[in-house]
A = this chain, B = another copy of it.
């Protein structure tokens, strides 16, 4: 793809896709940028601009074909294929992620769960066995995954990420409080409630004038 799409636009695409899937399941044929905008809290102009990066959707005044736009987004986002996921760290947070109801039917298959705790290793969560984290490296070499979700204690996060990177895992979601490093070709995101709250208080301060 020749044009560099801004990251903030890419982050909105799953929201468009989710809304369009819902409209599609409700039997809707056409949707306007006004309606998409109202549902998503984005201006219609922003919607048109976001979708124009991908070049081929709809015409102003006529609305978007729900089916065609959903199918295109599915393809653009890679949701027309299956992705193999490993969750490393099965404490409260890892277990909550492994049982998250939203994964169903979205093309993400949680293949493996890992933990270091002897009380967890060998137990079953949502029908999957928790494996010993010492087996992670060998398992990934024998049978690679696409995505790693890291929910171990912060102090071992970088070690786990290094193992995932060495095993060519292409995308890593880091739920630990520690910031970790990965080479630029690896897609790495940090999901840290404190950082979300800190950018929210920026807005709170302004709204409240405190």
Contact = CB atoms under 8 A, between A and B. Distances in A.
Nearest to A22: B179
Contacts of A76: 202
A207 B184 CA distance: 11
B96 A197 contact: no
A146 B11 CA distance: 27
A196 B191 contact: yes
Q: How many copies does the complex hold?
A: 2
A58 to B, nearest CB: 20
Contact of A171 (B85, B149, B200): B200
A196 B103 CA distance: 11
Nearest to A205: B78
Contacts of A97: 193
B198 A189 contact: no
A37 interface: no
A102 B177 contact: yes
